[in-house]
Chains A and B, each alone.
Chain A
Amino acid sequence: MASPIKVFEVFTTIFNFAIFFFIVRMIFRKKKGAPAGSPLLQFLEKISQQARHAPKGAPTSTQPAATPLKTPIALAFSSLSQKTAQMPLVPVPTAKLQKSKQYLQIALNSTLDDARSIISRLPPSDRIILEAGTPLIKIYGAEAIRTVRAMAWPGAYVVADAKTADLAEREVEMAATAGANGITCLGVARVETIDRFIAACKQHGLDSMVDMMNVESPHMLLRQLRALPDVVVLHRGVDETEFSKEKQIPYYQIKQIRGSYNITVAVAGGDTIREVQRAVFNDANIVVVWKDFYSSSVDTVTLAAQFLKEIK
């Protein structure tokens, strides 16, 4: 038989617990008109609301996230979540290439630190395109594109030189989420890959660039494609330049391509002022340089100014 003292103890414990819960509730209670509590509380609230509104027998996890919720907290949370879903994590790339203008594309190829200091020295200009080079992307990953985007002036045009050879959609998506405005694909890749690449670029709002390195006739390749890319890059590789001097950049193809298609043409592989002049004289829209901008130096500013002067 329970003694009255024990019964009293039990009652006191229950009473203590009740007071404790009451105090906790008072602390965490939301005031009228005040903003919703901490994110954790919002989350808990949302989960409990979802569980309450879920039809009986159906598991909560199958309930779609967009269920209309009634309580003010849940409503606030749902509108917030919808907003964040619409908002991408990086600012939407707005810069677009104009066909009447000529651009200087600076490829950043050494290290991220070098890239940072070079970008900080460059004059902010809408005629400079920044390129996250292939070595940079392969060593630092998508972080390289993000860094170039973060360091660049607002509204800068950033190209990811991913050199896609297969699995085009995934790489385009990667570049798009990292904040690039354009991405390159290899012209020597299969036609199916390039087609997919161009379609994916359109879908993600990026400029598609097809790199014609080691392609014998870019003209023939362009005819095989379902849709035209935005930019064609005529390219002589670095190793080719160093080890077989007789190989020339095919300047004559610039006018061939621009005459038959409404495409922007970029020329890569020339690094001296003279070669830049040649490319511009032959009607190239974009001139890609990298060697003079491989590491940051005092001359970076003057060099950029010189190159920009050549590209009218």
Chain B
Amino acid sequence: MSTFRIRVLSKDEIGTKTRVYGLPVRPEANWVYYRYANGQLSKYFFMRLEKRKCYLQIALNRSLPEVRQMIASLPPSDRIIIEVGTPFVKVYGSSGIGMVYQCWSAKLGRPGYVVADLKCMDRGYTEVAAAAAAGASAATCLGLAPIETISEFIKHCAAAGIDSTVDMMNVEFPFEVLQKLRPLPDIVVLHRGVDEHDLNRERSIPLHMIRRIKGTYPVTISVAGCETFREVTSTVFNDADIAIVWRPFYEEPHKMAELAESFLKVVI
């Protein structure tokens, strides 16, 4: 996987063949130039999330062969984001992320948007670099982490050219975290954990926070912990940009295609 993205060259630096080790320029267009290990230069299209569009994020947590089959049965839609779950990352490492990225890109016919759910808590930069090299377009950090860690994480994500995501799981007041952060993350995840949902049914997804955060900060909001069509509908109705669905796909991997299509109908 190490040969995947080696060096990012900005548009102006193509003729000069200089090595770029600092911050890559993030162009407005959805392409960059990449130089591969063999020296070949290629124009590389990648997926940027568009504003005013809703996405369905499918978290994959099963074993690698099953995940491959699941991706193969998904409809090749622009509006699907693949998330590589934390247990999956901890079992297969960055090579697992690379494999998922390749499968999903092969299915789409162009580079797909893959989120690596790293859940960084401390010193996340090595993990971020590894995930970016493996082909992830976004990585997550816990909102519970120390503020220093989160802001370093966001800077390193920008340096690696990927979207930074802050996961607000178990954070009582996401505003308190966001107001201390400079620069702001690209995506904020409002989260209801799996374990807490199983053991404590009273806890609901904090849908009221979506409009409050979007009104104050220019960030993309995604909501995790949706399980039913009803929950996804109310999430999208409340202005969330991304709905993260995990359990239905985990429990019925053979029904991937139908589930994804019916969820996509809800996510408008």
Contacts and interface: CB of A to CB of B under 8 A. Distances in A.
B is bound to A: yes
Interface of A: 109-110, 134-135, 137-144, 162-163, 165-168, 170-171, 174, 186, 188-190, 192-193, 195-196, 213-214, 237-240, 242-244
B258 interface: no
B145 A167 contact: no
B194 A239 contact: no
Contact of B148 (A139, A190, A193, A242): A242
Contacts of A242: 148
B121 interface: yes
B91 A138 contact: no
A167 B87 contact: yes
User: What 10 pairs across the A-B complex have the smallest Cβ distances?
Assistant: A141-B93, A188-B144, A239-B148, A243-B148, A192-B199, A193-B195, A237-B122, A239-B149, A238-B123, A135-B126
Contacts of B152: 239, 243
B28 interface: no
Nearest to B143: A188
Given A138-B130, A165-B86, A188-B144, 10 more contacts: A135-B127, A135-B130, A138-B127, A141-B96, A163-B122, A165-B144, A190-B169, A190-B196, A237-B146, A239-B123
A142 B91 contact: yes
B90 A142 contact: yes
B87 to A, nearest CB: 5
Contacts of A139: 93-94, 126-127, 130
A110 B122 CA distance: 14
Most buried by A among B87, B92, B152: B87
B86 A167 contact: yes
A174 B148 contact: no
B170 interface: yes
B86 A192 contact: no
Interface residues of B, number: 37
Contacts of A109: 123, 126
Contacts of B233: none
A165 B142 contact: yes
A134 B196 contact: no
B149 A240 contact: yes
Nearest to A135: B126
* Majority DSSP secondary structure for residues of B touching A: helix
A238 B121 CA distance: 10
Interface of B: 61, 85-87, 89-96, 118-119, 121-123, 126-127, 130-131, 142, 144-146, 148-149, 152, 169-170, 193-196, 198-200
A165 B119 contact: yes
Contact of B195 (A110, A162, A168): A168
A190 B196 CA distance: 7
Contacts of B198: 192
A163 B123 CA distance: 12
B146 A214 contact: yes
Given A165-B169, A237-B145, A239-B146, A137 B130 contact: no
Contact of B93 (A140, A170, A193, A240): A140
Given A135-B127, A189-B170, A240 B148 contact: yes
A209 to B, nearest CB: 14
Contacts of B86: 165-167, 171
A186 B91 contact: no
A304 B31 CA distance: 49
A171 B118 CA distance: 13
Nearest to B152: A239
B141 to A, nearest CB: 11
B60 to A, nearest CB: 13
Given A165-B142, A167-B61, A188-B144, A138 B123 contact: no
Contact of A138 (B85, B118, B142, B200): B118
A48 to B, nearest CB: 28
B148 A167 contact: no
A213 B122 contact: yes
B193 A190 contact: yes
Nearest to A247: B146
A186 B121 contact: yes
20 contacts: A109-B126, A138-B118, A138-B130, A139-B130, A141-B92, A141-B95, A142-B90, A144-B93, A166-B86, A166-B119, A174-B91, A188-B142, A189-B193, A190-B195, A192-B193, A192-B195, A214-B144, A238-B123, A239-B123, A243-B148
Contact of A162 (B90, B122, B130, B193): B90
Nearest to B88: A141
Contacts of A244: 148
A137 B198 CA distance: 27
Contact of B122 (A140, A165, A171, A239): A239
Nearest to B167: A165
A79 B207 CA distance: 56
A269 to B, nearest CB: 10
Most buried by B among A165, A171, A242: A165
* A142, A193, A196: residue with the most chain B Cβ atoms closer than 10 Å: A193
Contacts of A143: 93
Contacts of B122: 134, 163, 213, 237-239
